[in-house]
Amino acid sequence: MRHVPQVAALGALALAGTLLAAPAHAQSAAENYVALGDSYSSGVGTREYFEDSGDCRRSPHAYPQLWADANGVADFAFDACGGATTDDVNAEQLGSLGADTTLVTLSVGGNDVGFADVVQSCLLGTDSSCDDAVTEAVQEATSVLPGKLDTTYANIGEAAPNAEVVVLGYPRLNDLGDCGIPGFTVAKRERLNEGADELAAVISERARAAGFTFADPRERFDGHGVCSDAEWINGPSLPLVESFHPNVAGQAEGYLPTLEAAL
């Protein structure tokens, strides 16, 4: 799925100013960028999606599209898809990679450990059932996920041997102050955040072992989680798929600067 930015000749002067302010990594027309991964990369939560992206819900507000737009890349393949697991990335998202790919970004692993089910358990169940759900997910993250990530990273490295690969992690979901969500106790929110930290440790370790860059969004999102005064992550929402995903501000102010800093 390609959405290549177009810059009119009359806008060249303005574009030049933008590129001067862009990260040093930006290579403008020399960049061939492929964005892989799950809903945190496709932009689920922003509530606006490219019509041709279907259930993958790729958004013009997602950080990959924002980075491509800002840097005038020569070729941009936006292949991230909401709900993707490592198996989905390996089976369905590697086709755009090649020897001419210069940049790959990726977020994956949350769905492998049952992200949606864990959040549901914490919203609807007791503190104890939330703790049990997070504990089970952490066990999956430490025992099974490393091998899945190693396989995925190896496949990306083989398919795009000349690319810089940036693996983006996940933010802590919640702030711990007053919260208007019934039953969403401080204990539940703390336990979910602890689970995010455990997952980050696994993903960062395996990414670095593969020779990739790990970009950690947790610090950027601190103070902007669910139940904060300025939420960058949606709380319970309709449609449900929008819940507990970065909103437009989360993509632009949280994930995009995290990628820029990594590059």
Residues designated as active site: 39, 245
State yes or no: cis peptide before 161, omega within 30 of 0: no
Crossing angle between the packed helical segments 145-159 and 127-143, to the nearest 10 degrees: 50
Dihedral class, residue 244 (left if φ above 0, else alpha if ψ from -120 to 50, else beta): left
- Report helix, strand or coil for 229: coil
Owner of token pair 């996940």: 170
Given a contact cutoff of 8 angstroms between Cβ atoms, the answer to whether 153 and 89 are in contact is no
Rounded-to-integer distance, Cα 43 and Cα 255, Å: 10
Dihedral sign of CA atoms 237, 48, 256, 21 in order: negative
Q: Which two three-digit tokens encode residue 93?
A: 């998202």
| DSSP string of 55-100, one letter each residue | GG---TTSHHHHHHHHHT-SEEEE---TT--HHHHHHHS-TT--TT
What radius of gyration do the chain's Cα atoms show?
Answer: 18
